[in-house]
Chains A and B, each alone.
Chain A
Amino acid sequence: MAAYFLAQLKRALRLAPAQLAADVLICVCAGVFVYLLVAQGALDAGGTRYRIGMVGDLSDSYLGFGIAALQEMDDSRFMIELVGMSEEEAEDAFAKGELYAVMRVPEGLLEAVVSGENDRLITYTPAEGSKGLGTMVMGEITDIASTLVTSSQSAIFAMQRVLLDQGRGDELPRATDRLNLSLLNLVLSRSGFGKVEILGYADGLSMELYYFCSAFLLFLLLAGLLNCAFFARRNAALPGFMKARGVGAFCQVLGEYLAYLVLVLMGLLALSLPVALLLEQDRIGIPEWEGMGAFPFWGFLRTLFPVVLMFAALQFFLFEAADGVVNGILLQFLCGAGMGYLAGYFYPAAFFPERMQRIGGFLPAGAAARYVEEGIFGNDTSGEAAVVFAYLAVFFVLTVMIKKRRIGREQL
């Protein structure tokens, strides 16, 4: 068994340079990605300001005033930048990916608003190719803007109706202007409608730490893709031959699994070193670890160890079950991406319906996330760890069963 393990380890170590090169490639990609984000101002302290191109006739003084008021006085100015431009400029900027959306103001919009017809709609085209979270949020924002405008319209028209009914039509212009101003004031002071109390409960991860953990978990979950060469070019007759030499299915799986585990751990280490360096230099802003350098990160890696064992067993099982490395790659991606999505590695799990959250939490990826979350807070993780180890045992046993079946088939 030890000899078999050493042979497998030798095979794994032969793949190590290529695997380390891939890790370096991942780090370089991530580095370039972050560098470009910083260079383009996307990670500024004020956060990203979404640039929206406004196309159409904005020369009307009221409309121009409205846009200027939004950009100068309203809270939305911290998130949205409205830029007036011609149709051609907007098309060009949109094609270059410089705009988050284009808003087209139709001719006669203000007349339609003043008359209450509202039959001229502002159309907006999002840069997102189809409906997604971004377009839904944008839909909410436009609904909010519509409510503010239509409610103000209703109040003004009602006041005008009352004045006309009373035969005081001559007062209309002045009264309209004054009520308009009162309503504009109300819109600008709308943050005062509610009193905000931040309780500051810290039993959940900050978004930064959540995505930091998710990135590591996703890397480990998809590490099978990185190490697929380990499962290629395997001699189909070898398991039977080894069995004949006294190395049974269990010992074969254990030897191969341990060698594969070394490969996964090397990948994790290669990725962790630059991350630790960046943390040490305070270049990665994680609120919970602020000013602590890379110290908590080493603890995080220790916490991650059972998850590495379990995910490596899962990948091992998937490659054995898939019958061939080509099928194995597809299965790895589908299971990794699917489980990662349901377990909240991409969107936080809390965004999903409750039943989906429960299913996601039950899956190996979800169990790993729960275990890591508890581990980071230093809570008792025995329950979560038991689930992780149970999954590890299940995948291991299943792999042994597949190997046994394969050996049996060969011997027939």
Chain B
Amino acid sequence: MIRDMFVRIWLLQKRLLKRKSFFLLLCLAPLLAAGVGRLSGEPAGIAVIALYLPQESTAAQENTAAQEDAVAQEIAQRIFDGESVLRYLPCENEKEARAYVESGEADAAWIFAKDMGERLAELADRRRVRPVVTVLERSDSVPLILGREILTAAIYPAFSYAVYEGYVREELGMEEMTEEELRAAYERVAVEGSLFQLAYPDRTTGEAEDYGYVQAPLRGILAIWFTFCGLASALWFMRDEEKGVYERIPVAKRLFSSYMACAVFLADASVVMLFGVKLSGVFTDWKREVVSCVVFAACVTVFSNFLRLLCRTPQRLGMLLLPLGALMLALCPVFLNLQHFRAGKMLLPPWYYLQSVHDTRYLYLAAVYTAVLVLLSLLLQRVRQDID
């Protein structure tokens, strides 16, 4: 019996791969993933900021200018260091920064004041906060609000240093202390680093995921494509049923045959999806990916066939494709993760797969979901049989 099963699997596989168009179609998915993965390495951001930091000094104001240069450099370093969700366009002068915003090439401009040192000194002396940067925005938006907080974090160290300097000199009465002495005391005890660490339920930290937001949705897109592969295989089975390919198998036993046909179809798609995930740059490790993919494939097999039994005709199943695709795009964490609609999310196989990347609990939930759908499918088939 097992030998027969293998022979049937082999024949189905041969039938599928004999069609060049199917093979080429499978190759398209990793091609898209690889293309986006490759392009995503280039600079990108949810908002473009034109940045002008004055750095030239005049002979007459050498001391202040030197101090301003140091502050400006420190701020520039903080802004440009590391990965950011913003993209910066360095500008030579204020006019250029303004022009970028006016022409729409930038969403905002950060124009730093030329007398930044003076304003910081004023803060140190009188605790009075005067703006050191002009923020020009085309219109207010969430990315620009975040941008303003990033700007604040870049400026804050200079401000807090000015407060410390002023406090020591004015409040503690140590006016005789030189700038170098104050700076040396500060540098000796300076604290750096993050107080936060991203940790997923499987204890993977954020640093382990070395990719940007442009690549991030690719896993979700591939997962939905994979679900469509399952639905396409259900259509394929229905068409074969109509042609009489499964005439010799009693209707009561056809569920197993449909699972097998779907599994063969999805076996090819699984290999393609694994390669797609690998090429897109969102891959974790082979063991985890393979296990998640196998559970997902089982889930999709059962889900597609449950819908097949529910719809009964290829036409009705075809009619479901677009609403289902829209639901999956909206409810599964592909582009955004909605806080609500938990019940709706739990009906969709890609949700389990996408959540299981760092949480094995969802693999068990997916197994339970699969088992429940198998039972419902058996029940549905029985009802259908009785009606027929």
Instruction: Point out the residue from A124, A207, A356 that lies within 8 Å of B198, measured CB to CB.
Output: A124
Is the C-beta of B94 less than 8 angstroms from some C-beta in chain A? no
Closest-by-CB residue of A relative to B209 is A131
| Band of interface residues on A | 35 or more
A359 touches B39 (CB 8 A): yes
Give complex CA distance A51, B344 in Å: 20
Interface window among B49-57, B63-71, B327-335: B327-335
B341 touches A134 (CB 8 A): no
Shortest A33–chain B CB gap in Å is 7
Is the C-beta of B372 less than 8 angstroms from some C-beta in chain A? no
Residues of A within 8 A of B29 (CB): 334
Is the C-beta of B152 less than 8 angstroms from some C-beta in chain A? yes
Give complex CA distance A226, B326 in Å: 11
Give complex CA distance A154, B156 in Å: 12
Given the known A-B contacts A199-B137, A325-B235, are A355 and B182 also in contact in the complex, defined by CB atoms under 8 Å?
no
Closest-by-CB residue of A relative to B215 is A131
Residues of A within 8 A of B148 (CB): 191, 194, 196
Given the known A-B contacts A163-B172, A193-B152, are A333 and B225 also in contact in the complex, defined by CB atoms under 8 Å?
yes
Quick one: CB contact mask for B184-212 with A, threshold 8 Å, 1 for yes?
Answer: 01101111111111111100001001011
Shortest B161–chain A CB gap in Å is 6
Quick one: CB contact mask for A133-159 with B, threshold 8 Å, 1 for yes?
Answer: 111111111111111111111111111
Is the C-beta of A7 less than 8 angstroms from some C-beta in chain B? no
B316 touches A18 (CB 8 A): yes
A186 touches B160 (CB 8 A): yes
Is the C-beta of A48 less than 8 angstroms from some C-beta in chain B? yes
Interface window among A55-63, A96-104, A289-297: A96-104
Instruction: Point out the residue from A19, A33, A96, A131 that lies within 8 Å of B216, measured CB to CB.
Output: A131
Residues of B within 8 A of A346 (CB): 217, 329, 334-335
Is the C-beta of B359 less than 8 angstroms from some C-beta in chain A? yes
Shortest B197–chain A CB gap in Å is 4
Closest-by-CB residue of A relative to B140 is A198
Give complex CA distance A225, B322 in Å: 6
Is the C-beta of A204 less than 8 angstroms from some C-beta in chain B? yes
Instruction: Point out the residue from A155, A222, A229, A329 that lies within 8 Å of B161, measured CB to CB.
Output: A155
Is the C-beta of B91 less than 8 angstroms from some C-beta in chain A? no
Given the known A-B contacts A130-B216, A178-B171, are A197 and B135 also in contact in the complex, defined by CB atoms under 8 Å?
yes
B206 touches A131 (CB 8 A): yes
B132 touches A203 (CB 8 A): no
A162 touches B191 (CB 8 A): no
Residues of B within 8 A of A135 (CB): 198, 206
Shortest B47–chain A CB gap in Å is 8
Is the C-beta of A382 less than 8 angstroms from some C-beta in chain B? no
A182 touches B225 (CB 8 A): no
Supplied contacts A191-B148, A225-B325, A338-B221, 17 more A-B pairs, CB within 8 Å = A30-B326, A97-B345, A145-B196, A146-B193, A146-B194, A154-B157, A154-B161, A154-B189, A156-B164, A162-B174, A179-B167, A197-B136, A201-B101, A327-B21, A330-B232, A341-B217, A353-B42
Sorted nearest first, the 8 A-B pairs with minimum C-beta distance are: A353-B42, A142-B196, A155-B164, A157-B189, A129-B355, A97-B342, A158-B186, A195-B131
What are 24 A-B pairs at a CB distance below 8 A?
Answer: A22-B319, A26-B326, A29-B323, A29-B326, A123-B198, A123-B199, A130-B357, A133-B213, A139-B198, A146-B196, A148-B153, A150-B195, A154-B191, A155-B161, A158-B189, A160-B189, A175-B172, A178-B171, A179-B163, A197-B135, A199-B139, A200-B139, A226-B321, A329-B228
B residues apposed to A, CB below 8 Å: 19, 21-22, 25, 28-29, 32, 36, 39-46, 48, 78, 84-85, 101-102, 104, 107, 110, 127, 129-141, 146, 148-153, 155-157, 159-161, 163-164, 167-168, 171-172, 174, 177, 182, 185-186, 188-201, 206, 209, 211-214, 216-217, 219, 221, 224-225, 228-229, 231-233, 235-236, 239, 282, 314-316, 318-323, 325-327, 329-330, 333-342, 345, 354-359, 362
